[in-house]
Amino acid sequence: MRSRRRFTVPLPAGRSLVLGERTLVMGIINVTPDSFSNGGVLFDPIKAVDGGVRMVEEGADILDVGGESTRPGAQPLSAAEERARVLPVVEALVRRVAVPISVDTYKASVADAVLDAGAAIINDVSGLRYEPALGDVVARRGAGLVLMHTRGRSKDMYQAASYHDVVDEVRDELRESIAFATGAGVAREAIVIDPGLGFAKEPAHSYEAVARLHEFAELARPILAGPSRKSFLSKAVGRSLAAAQRDWGTAAAVTASVLAGAHVVRVHAVAEMSQVVRVADEIRKYYRDE
């Protein structure tokens, strides 16, 4: 067991996010009609906001709102449609909850709009590779930035899932994303990294990334892990499971991620995974550094 470094991530309006004292839980709010995990249950803005409030009551430390599905094979969405989906939800949530609001987008114009509405973090699945101008927006607004690893777009990401050493290569590509961000003026202290479990990765790649998550600490940035309900979890049980049936597998992957050094875990089932995280954190207290 390796010790987990502590970080303070600056956010707009003089706020900050302390990472490393305990693992934070990021609750997922998919404002999409085709969410892989819930079939669009939270597509209605009122249900999405009520769901977010409930997640905070259940233990969420951050809420992550997304308007475009990034599941494999998903079609891209226009910036105008994405703004129409997420803005009402962000505007309502910032009035009703005290936790920071993150928005899952790679589009610069969407980021600008949601930061105007009170969001504090931009969660970019492309690691600034789809719209580099996003870095300029985040820098100008002083927002937090999650840089996730992927290759290609949703429709063809698995064609790029070829690695000699998945952790070494993902780490090198995340290092490039960090350089893109700081080159655009984003403070290094504002950056969180995400190895992108399930994105442009075969199941074995995702399992190896979880097992070796501590190696991403070399980048000296806090680590976010997002295994929740992803299809690679079915591989271990030897049969296909619907997304909603993958919470037991998610619990195992979340536990392993926490013990390997994740600072934040991104999950759908907040009530259940908050318990998993708190127990895993308690176990961490009794490990000794190797």
Catalytic residue among 230, 239, 246, 278: 230
In DSSP terms, 148 is beta-bridged to 194
Q: Which residue has the tokens 């893109």?
A: 180
SS3 content of the chain, % helix, strand, coil (to 5): 45, 15, 40
Catalytic residue among 71, 266, 278, 285: 266
Query: How many other C-beta atoms are found inside a 10 Å radius of the C-beta of residue 234?
Result: 17
Question: How far is C-alpha 197 from the geometric centre of its chain's CA atoms?
Answer: 10
Q: Which residue has the tokens 């050094």?
A: 261
Reduce the DSSP state of residue 226 to 3 states and report it: coil
Separation between Cα atoms, residue 288 and residue 118, nearest integer Å:
41
230 is catalytic: yes
Q: Which residue has the tokens 């700081």?
A: 182
Separation between Cα atoms, residue 100 and residue 97, nearest integer Å:
8
Phi-psi domain of 87 (left: phi exceeds 0; alpha: psi -120 through 50; beta: other)? alpha
Closest CA to 146 of 74, 202, 194, 92: 194
Separation between Cα atoms, residue 280 and residue 153, nearest integer Å:
34
Residue 111 has, within 13 A of its CA and on its CB side, a CA count of: 28
Indicate which residues carry an active-site annotation.
230, 266
